[in-house]
Amino acid sequence: MIKQIIINFLGIFNSRILGFIRDLLSASIIGANIYSDIFFVAFKFPNLFRRIFAEGAFTQAFLPSFSKCKYKPKFAYKVFIIFFSAILMLTIFVNLFSYPITSVLAFGFSEEAKKMASPLVAINFWYLDFIFIVTFLASLLQYKNHFLIPAFSPALLNISLIIFLLISQNLPKEKIIWYLSLGVLVGGIAQVLAHLYVAYKKKIIKLLIIGAKSKKKVDLTSFKKNFLPSVFGNSTAHISAFLDTWLASFLSAGSISYLYYANRLFQLPFALFVIATSTVIFPKITKKLANNQENEAFEILKKSFWYLFYALILATTIGVISSKEIVALLFERGAFTNKDTIQTSIVLIMYLIGLIPFGLNKLFSSYLYATHKHLKAAKFSAISLTVNIIASLILILPLKVYGLALASSIGGIVLFFLTIKEFGIKRFMFFFEKKYLLLMILVVLISIITAIGFKHLLIYLKGAI
């Protein structure tokens, strides 16, 4: 299990580093203004679906049903055809009605900005079609215990965007965002090709061809019953970020970009530690519970909890203490000013308040899905999202863009509490053995010392640059 988590960690780390290079170039070339806001709005919609699909929602509904199905080729093929057809129709709809959809996504934009963003929304949405194919094949690869390509392939999107940024860097900003949108599509195609190659090697393509030719009937009732609750249960943080973008369109220019850059930094430890861990343990816990090995499943969860908790304590401490220095080192150059750094760093702190609750919730919600409590998880997400929306509307007036990020963290805290309550407070307390608590104190102290040292290192590096 540790080896597979490390593979996921390295793959995600590689992708995120390239992502930060991309953001660094984007901040320097475009800056934080109406043009960057337009691109982020255009990419936010398909990226919202991408995160919901790719970070477990589809897999958590698909794999348990796929594992139980007696005739897997037909089941996999039928699920693929149904979903791909629906997503293709949705994409065509978005392309036909891109302006009214853009008007909803960026309600606070001027008419000129909406007209500029509308075709970009249509182009970027095609990325969703490609990423569904990637997610579907990745689920089957994970079933075969192959995590390498699913972990490393997101880097291809970032490589594509970096190339298109460099190609267009001397063009007017309104043309650069068109090049970026083209880069999104090229990156999606590259990810599909990478997964198709490995899927062919692992005989997954052969399995789908057999399913296409088969006349046998399969029951999708269980999968259909679990899919929508799984999607909603996994989507709270992403829907929250999407709503933040919508509300930020009413604030001063650059607010959407502050949220974007801060959320990108927030997503780094979340992806490296939370996604890497939950992706690996979910299939393992599911199989243990299916074989009535509940104690073994509980032990896997317990060990994963402490590994993840320690990592998130370290990440949160470093992020809060060094937020300004991190943002300055990564983004403060070219069109990205010191004012932008200060604004983004405060937004980052507001997001980081929710890192531990959001991260640990992802772990325990995986256990709920493995025990077929998809509806419960969806209910908790609905409550959390409602709290988040109310908090956003209350805090946006006094705290502006900072209030939107803080509201997201408040929603995460509520979500974690509800999930633990369903898991069982008494069962959860069994995790807290004395040796782990003593180690936690040590981790907190090490985190503070590391964060202070890291802060001074960043100041030195920024001065040297």
Does 136 lie in the same domain as 248? no
Q: What's CA 147's distance to the chain center, in Å?
A: 17
As a whole number of angstroms, the distance between CA 130 and CA 392 comes to 33
Q: Does residue 235 sit in helix, strand or coil?
A: coil
In a domain, 25, yes or no: no
Global pTM value: 0.72
In a domain? residue 227: no
In this prediction, residue 454 carries a pLDDT of: 79
Same domain, 150 and 295: no
Domain extent at residue 57: 33-221
| pLDDT in single tens digits along all 465 residues of the chain | 666 777 777 877 887 788 778 877 887 788 767 787 888 888 877 776 666 665 566 777 787 777 777 788 888 899 899 889 988 998 999 899 988 888 877 777 778 888 888 889 899 999 989 988 998 998 888 778 777 788 788 889 999 999 999 998 888 888 888 999 999 999 999 999 999 999 999 999 998 988 888 888 887 777 777 777 777 766 666 677 777 777 887 887 778 888 888 988 998 899 888 888 887 787 778 777 777 788 888 888 888 899 899 999 999 999 999 999 999 888 887 778 888 899 999 999 999 999 999 999 988 988 888 787 878 888 898 899 899 999 999 999 889 889 999 999 999 999 999 999 999 888 888 888 777 788 888 888 888 888 888 777 877 776 766
CA dist., res. 130 & res. 314, Å (int):
35
pLDDT at 365: 86
**In-domain check, residue 17:** no
Task: Provide the token pair at 233.
Answer: 């249960």
Structure confidence at residue 235 (pLDDT): 67
Q: Which long-range contacts (CB under 8 A, 24 or more apart) does 2-9 make?
A: 4/145, 4/147, 4/280, 5/276, 5/277, 5/280, 7/147, 7/148, 7/151, 8/147, 8/151, 8/275, 8/276, 8/277, 8/279, 8/280, 9/272, 9/273, 9/276
Q: 217 and 317 share a domain?
A: no
Q: Name the domain boundary from 161, 187, 221.
A: 221
The pLDDT of residue 403: 93
- Give the residue among 196, 223, 175, 187 at the shortest CA–CA distance from 72: 223
How far CA 235 is from CA of 111, 275, 338, 366, 400, in Å, comes to 30, 13, 33, 13, 24
Does residue 278 share a domain with residue 186? no
Q: Verify that 184 and 283 share a domain, yes or no.
A: no
Predicted local distance difference test score (pLDDT) of residue 1: 64
Nearest to 346 by CA among 453, 275, 410, 259: 259
Would you state the structure tokens that stand for residue 22, as one six-digit string? 């991309």
Q: What is the pLDDT of residue 191?
A: 94
152, 187, 221 - which closes a domain: 221
State whether 197 and 330 are in the same domain.
no
**Claim to verify: residue 204 and residue 285 sit in the same structural domain:** no
Please check whether residue 15 lies inside any domain of the structure: no
* DSSP label at residue 275: I
Asked, for residue 6, whether it belongs to a domain, the answer is no
Q: How many domains would you assign to the chain?
A: 2
- 245 and 142, same structural domain? no
Residues 200 and 256 in one domain: no
